[in-house]
Structure 1
């Protein structure tokens, strides 16, 4: 006699289907047009199942982004700080573009009007990634690639601020050459002895 289905596996399978459906719909329709109903229909799940696990569309997208960003926007450590920053910042640009279909862009916009979602976005997605950035920069300091006196909060703002400025004001993301210039200027600003 076959074993009955494992409920934990079935739940994990449903969870993956829901997150995949959310990603597909966002890519096809744009964040603003995605609904819980559409996610449920695409995933073959009920709205009740979705709401049991997530309180809103934003919460579904936050979990999707958290998984995606963990995979695609890690901080490499090849020993070349500028090259590693280029790799990481390029991954962030990829997550933000195109803005119309980016779950990250949609979630940031939705969080502006939803304090609970903004808190969850900050606590679950932003703060842990800031901590990883600082860990990478501390390793650069330990390796002598960056002065131990560098203010890592200022470095964060100088490196990531231009991306979000350009994103929010629809100025277009920097191409590879412009990104290299931004990184070089940011590193020199926080540590004038940096040779980039």
Structure 2
């Protein structure tokens, strides 16, 4: 990110500029995610999160504009550990590694929570804009930089804008996961990346 902060650090400073206790923020985010994963979104209320995290509801309302925003930030915090954005390696290697990690994560609770959070955002706001703003946009922009770097150094042979390339890969993965058309396998993920990126043979 342009600020040079990690995603967790950015969450700790507050998206609306209010200073936060990093320890308290971490407890709230972890508590919210654990509730989502174990009891489901319906039971993950602000009251439940406050009790689970041993903080006041006032603290949560002061730092998050809505329950949906908190749920997304909790998911983002978990994603930074479960599916970290790749920082080292060639562009193709970084994308392959990230895709493999994402596919593996989708098979477990991470995938179930992600789908539930997206559904919650759409049902409450009639749009996925909040999810994009607080979660997907941050991670997508980083991956677009990696794709652009690969196009520039010639390791990625796919033409077109990086956004279309990203969507072809991750949109296909998410589509297959949501509808369960066929299993998401490591082999499928590798073939998809090669098909879309058209990597140089030595990349």
Q: Report the TM-score range of the alignment, normalised by the length of the smaller protein.
A: 0.7 to 0.9
Q: TM-score, normalised by structure 1?
A: 0.77
Runs of 4+ aligned structure 1 residues displaced above 6 Å come to none
Could you tell which deviates more after superposition, 72-81 or 42-51?
A: 72-81
Give the one of 178, 184, 189 matched to 1:179: 189
Equivalence for 2:114: 104
TM-score (norm. length: structure 2) = 0.75
Q: Which residue of 2 aligns with 1:142?
A: 152
**Greater CA drift, 114-123 or 38-47:** 114-123
What is the CA RMSD across the aligned residues, in angstroms? 2.9
CA pair 153-28 structure 1, distance change in 2 beyond 3 A: same
1:70 to 51, 71, 80: 80
| Structure 1 portions without partners, runs of 5+ | 1-7
Which structure has the bigger radius of gyration? 1
Residues 67 and 152 of structure 1, relative CA distance in 2, 3 Å threshold: same
CA contact (8 A) 1:159 1:182 kept: yes
Any stretches of 5+ residues in structure 2 without a counterpart? 1-17
Residue 79 (structure 1) shift? 2.1
Moved more, 154-163 or 58-67: 58-67
Taking structure 1 as reference, are residues 136 and 128 closer, same or farther at Cα in structure 2, changes over 3 Å only? same
Taking the TM superposition and a 5 Å limit, the aligned residue runs for 1:127-166 are 127-147=137-157, 149-166=159-176
What's the CA shift for 1:16? Answer: 1.8
- Residue 3 of structure 1 corresponds to none
Give the number of aligned pairs.
184
